[in-house]
Structure 1
Amino acid sequence: MTAHDDLSPAIDGDVYVSPRYLAGTTGIGDPALAPLRDLGWSLDHDDLGNAYLNAPDRRVRLGYLPEGEDDGLWRINAYEDPFAAPTWGVCFNDSCPTEFVTAFTTALAEAYQQGPDAYLAAPDPRSADRDPFLAVAPLINRGWQIDHPRWGVLAIQSPDGHAGLEYTTTRRLDPEAELTTRDARWQLWAGTSIDRPAWYATASTNTPVALLTAVTECVSDPAPLPRWREATFSYVKGMAQLTPIAAPRPPAPTPLDVQRAVSRRPAALPATASVPRWSTTSRPAVPGPRR
């Protein structure tokens, strides 16, 4: 099996981007919304084009905010009490690869079906299945290295230095700031530096470890992601490897196909009229911009 074999046969793109954390967003939100919509979560829109998903018990809410006040395209919050402050919150900005958001919402859908003990399970270093290190392990297992360790912060960087994760291990953080700024317990990013990332994702202190692990598993997966070359961001140049996706070759027409084509030919055409040629270079139209 090659690194490409696990990708969908209906490939939406003309290049593979590797490493995948440099792929950028697809500009399409439906795949990330689908796992929760499949559970019957209610979907609403405002007059600006923002979308809002609510769990049946109103304890989990997702906002897809292309017309939001900042670059936080995806904001997902969970509540012990629907009328209280969020118990945890996650944000993916507008350049984050959509596949990483989908990994999170897929894990969230699974946790929601298990009940509040799963989707409100705060990390706990004393628990074997809630230890925060479980979310870091996929990165370390795939060659990411601890980078410039400093007191109170665990920093891990990808082998090429173009992605990283920071986990604040000690100090107490402002709960409101964790939900509205990048000063959160967890921050995942890609680009040239954490200060000016190409994309970022944040998660607050009480975000369940299983949901975070789903994202780090997806981010560190060695398989590339398909993208349209025209839509790749400038930061990819010199950082990511772009491999053309060969157009699938249609099967050659059989003698029976030729005979059927000739039989369907209008009688007015001369006998030497050619059979329509089969294209081997066509591909889907390039999608438009997200907004």
Structure 2
Amino acid sequence: MTSRTDPHQEIDGDVYVWPRHLASTTGTGDPALAPLLALGWDLRYDDDANVFVSAPDRRVRLGYLPEGEDDGLWRINAYKDSFGPPAWGVCFNDRVPTEFVTAFTTVLATAYEQGPDAYLARPVSGTDGHDPFLAVVPLLKQGWEIDRPRWGVFAVQAPDGHAGMEFTTGDLDPEAELTTREARWQLWAGTSIDRPVWYATASTDTPVALLTAVTECVADPAPLPRWREATSSYIKGMAQLTPVRPPGPPAPTPLDVQRSVFSRRPAALPPASVPRWSTTSRPALPGPRR
């Protein structure tokens, strides 16, 4: 179990948490907002310090709502008509690992640049690239097992039993999908879906590429850095915490090696301190005997 973090990059934390779905939030939304703000999206605040980010054409909107009405910290909606109802909606609650939200917004930024055909692409079963069950594949590749928790629900569960993803079949209420946990997709971590440590939901028409961005990040076997003091006892009881080791010395460069070789060479011999013999020199006289 090793981290894929650059060993010489500053690590924001003193422990690694594994499996990463038990890491919880970092407590800051900046990394997840950055991919959208890099495109020049509009950023606004309200009096309660909630943050609202909108695409230039208002077809995609994000709310970061620490002072919202419920625990839905992140709400992202996309629209076919900027004045109509959302075509799809995604919610991440206040304890979702920030890296998972960042994975979503990063791919969302790319899809928006590609145009409506990308960020409004509806999932269609049996089609290349748009089959909704493609979003589950990254989890299955990491040993998640297929589960049947109840009628009308397809689910997969993490090997440790502390995370799962559910897909609800049949007709759903479009409004409830956007405002409650009764959505087409639900991803969660904890001891059960009824009392999760964190959860994320996605409505029926959420593009498969966006869902897959999240599941790929969740399935990544590398642990996530966190501060031990900020890790709840609930998480500590389920996750493995490994101290973050300070970075080792950098690998020597060819110039360093060359300098090291020269430093080990003996110094040049000093000039002789005794006179050299010549044809005019006489041997020294013997000293007096004792």
1:93 equivalent to 2:87? Answer no
CA contact (8 A) 1:92 1:101 kept: yes
Provide closer, same or farther for how the CA distance between residues 216 and 195 of structure 1 changes in structure 2, counting only shifts above 3 A.
Answer: same
Deviations 1:221-244 (A, max 9, x none): 100000000000221122100000
Partner of 1:23: 23
For these two proteins, the number of residue pairs brought into alignment is 249
Greater Rg, structure 1 or structure 2?
Answer: 2
Partner of 2:53: 53
1:70 is paired with a residue whose SS is coil
Partner of 1:230: 229
Counterpart Cα distance in 1 of 2:35 and 2:148: 37
CA contact (8 A) 1:191 1:235 kept: no
2:242 is paired with a residue whose SS is strand
Partner of 1:137: 137
- What letter matches 1:60 in structure 2? V
Q: CA deviation at 1:7?
A: 5.0
Partner of 2:269: none
Matches within 5 A, 1:96-135: 96-135=96-135
Counterpart Cα distance in 2 of 1:244 and 1:153: 39
- What letter matches 1:58 in structure 2? R
Matches within 5 A, 1:241-256: 241-248=240-247
- What letter matches 2:219 in structure 1? S
Partner of 1:189: 188
Partner of 1:78: 78
Question: How does the TM-score come out when normalised to structure 1?
Answer: 0.83
Q: CA deviation at 1:151?
A: 3.4
Counterpart Cα distance in 2 of 1:22 and 1:61: 28
Identity of aligned residues (%): 74
Q: CA deviation at 1:150?
A: 4.1
Q: CA deviation at 1:3?
A: 2.5
Unaligned runs of 5+ in 1: 252-291
Matches within 5 A, 1:131-210: 131-148=131-148, 150-169=150-169, 171-210=170-209
What CA RMSD, in Å, does the superposition of the two structures yield over aligned residues?
1.4
Counterpart Cα distance in 2 of 1:140 and 1:81: 36
1:190 is paired with a residue whose SS is strand
Counterpart Cα distance in 2 of 1:214 and 1:41: 21
Counterpart Cα distance in 2 of 1:17 and 1:61: 31
Provide closer, same or farther for how the CA distance between residues 225 and 122 of structure 1 changes in structure 2, counting only shifts above 3 A.
Answer: same
Counterpart Cα distance in 1 of 2:54 and 2:101: 17
Deviations 1:29-84 (A, max 9, x none): 00000000000100000010000000011000000000000000000000000111
Counterpart Cα distance in 2 of 1:69 and 1:238: 30
Counterpart Cα distance in 2 of 1:11 and 1:82: 40
CA contact (8 A) 1:155 1:164 kept: yes
- What letter matches 2:205 in structure 1? N
Partner of 2:40: 40
Matches within 5 A, 1:262-277: none
Counterpart Cα distance in 2 of 1:242 and 1:7: 19
Q: CA deviation at 1:147?
A: 1.6
Counterpart Cα distance in 2 of 1:113 and 1:100: 21
1:173 is paired with a residue whose SS is coil
Counterpart Cα distance in 2 of 1:130 and 1:239: 35
Counterpart Cα distance in 2 of 1:249 and 1:222: 23
Partner of 2:212: 213
Question: How does the TM-score come out when normalised to structure 2?
Answer: 0.83
Counterpart Cα distance in 2 of 1:249 and 1:124: 49
Q: CA deviation at 1:10?
A: 1.5
Counterpart Cα distance in 2 of 1:250 and 1:156: 42
Provide closer, same or farther for how the CA distance between residues 223 and 55 of structure 1 changes in structure 2, counting only shifts above 3 A.
Answer: same
Partner of 2:285: none
